[in-house]
Structure 1
């Protein structure tokens, strides 16, 4: 009717997909590495289907519907005091950061092998550090802006989901035992990335392209931040990865701390 304002906010419904098993969570070799890096038992990936068309511009509404959906809240767990516990209060708001995801190969990391971070043998170059006796050029490049190798990767490359995933694994958890060579970091990053990201061939260019949308997310209840954990920490993260064609969403998360010591 004339004079009336109509508003429409798209809603989404979700269903848990317990049968969708990501290979990296079933791989014993990956589990051993995650245990070594103090991330085993603190990393999770849960997949869900949804019922409506997803568009990136609607990411915030999609994420809020996700964290409010009873089929999600009944299966979702957050970390508290080293244990996984259910969300005990309704989510009232969300934080959503779009994450660039365009890479379809590991060529992104080629500069590491030619700039002095890694020796021809694959061994990571060690460096002096006042606090950490086992510090190396790789972690220095990843974490410190004044590193002489920081400029090897620009802001755009560092913003890629593939790079973020690599950095998360290299930095690890609270009691991380770091690798002497780079191979395990590269191979594990590749396996997890392939599990999480969907690709297809562009019909015009015939090139393989990423079709997934990646969102870095967090959720708040009436008391404040509640997911993935109450406290903010760089190594505590949650990414909601959306395949708009299959209508699948995977929540990939990690909570910083001391990992499990059993497989």
Structure 2
């Protein structure tokens, strides 16, 4: 039983939500870009319901219970040698809360005026002898770039920016875009699909209600989920909607080839 695996009060247990669909995975334009960026089939989102109230201070306990839950464990997959394989029970878990407060795309406004884009939205290329096959947008993602300071630390820590960065860097055989528009558009669609918001009835202000947790887990033999080695583009985020009592595991496994989960 899940309660025997997770020695905490108010044990969380989980059920899969097989009918829960994500529009970004059904969107033809989005999937075409994900294929071009070598991410299609390696990026996934799966939702689960849970049975107790969630609050951010219980994040560690919640994630421990999530990965130790037998229903969750039986549903997890990872890529090994280009093949999807069952993960099994995960015992050791690390959790990091990811700030998620943005309800618009204005976070990216500075990118349009810092000299890395033409007025048309085309991304400036780097000098070939300095950075072969590289562009100024990917330079902004590198802390050694002269444009790195265009976005502050808080902005870069936001889940919205991290999602954008993951899409810009892509998979192992990524074909990069000449303009910024596809990155912004796909980021917006995925973010909107994953994050829940609510409107204050008095102020009419919209705010994010989801809690985003970056997670990494190990089984008893030390094998990791989501990946077997440290790789920035192999990631897993657990996104919790406390009102619907839904948790979505959003993952990407870096590598070559298109697969289906």
Q: TM-score, normalised by structure 1?
A: 0.93
Counterpart of 1:91 in structure 2 is 90
What is the SS of the residue equivalent to 1:124? Answer: coil
Q: How far off is 1:211 after superposition?
A: 0.1
Counterpart of 2:249 in structure 1 is 251
Distance 1:46 1:61 in 2: 20
Q: TM-score, normalised by structure 2?
A: 0.93
- Is 1:47 matched with 2:64? no
Q: How far off is 1:202 after superposition?
A: 2.2
CA contact (8 A) 1:13 1:65 kept: yes
Q: How far off is 1:203 after superposition?
A: 3.6
Counterpart of 2:151 in structure 1 is 153
Distance 1:197 1:246 in 2: 12
Poorly superposed stretches of 4+, deviation over 3 Å:
129-132
Distance 1:67 1:127 in 2: 43
Q: How far off is 1:230 after superposition?
A: 1.3
Counterpart of 2:56 in structure 1 is 56
Sort the Cα spacing of 1:206 and 1:28 in 2 relative to 1 into closer, same or farther, 3 A: same
Distance 1:177 1:205 in 2: 44
What is the SS of the residue equivalent to 1:74? Answer: helix
CA contact (8 A) 1:218 1:225 kept: no
Q: How far off is 1:146 after superposition?
A: 2.1
- Cα-Cα RMSD: 1.6
What is the SS of the residue equivalent to 1:46? Answer: strand
The total of aligned residue pairs comes to: 254
Q: How far off is 1:205 after superposition?
A: 2.9
Q: How far off is 1:8 after superposition?
A: 5.4
- Is 1:173 matched with 2:201? no
Unmatched 5+ stretches in structure 2: 1-6
Distance 2:130 2:18 in 1: 43
Q: How far off is 1:261 after superposition?
A: 8.5
Sort the Cα spacing of 1:261 and 1:41 in 2 relative to 1 into closer, same or farther, 3 A: closer
Distance 2:99 2:259 in 1: 34
CA contact (8 A) 1:173 1:235 kept: yes
Sort the Cα spacing of 1:130 and 1:82 in 2 relative to 1 into closer, same or farther, 3 A: farther
Of 189, 192, 212 in structure 2, the residue corresponding to residue 191 of structure 1 is 189
Alignment of 1:98-113 (within 5 A): 98-113=97-112
Distance 1:58 1:204 in 2: 29
Alignment of 1:75-86 (within 5 A): 75-86=75-86
Q: How far off is 1:196 after superposition?
A: 0.1
CA contact (8 A) 2:73 2:90 kept: no
CA contact (8 A) 2:100 2:212 kept: yes
| Cα distance per residue 1:7-44 (max 9 Å; x no partner) | 95331010000100000111121111111101111111
Distance 1:216 1:126 in 2: 32
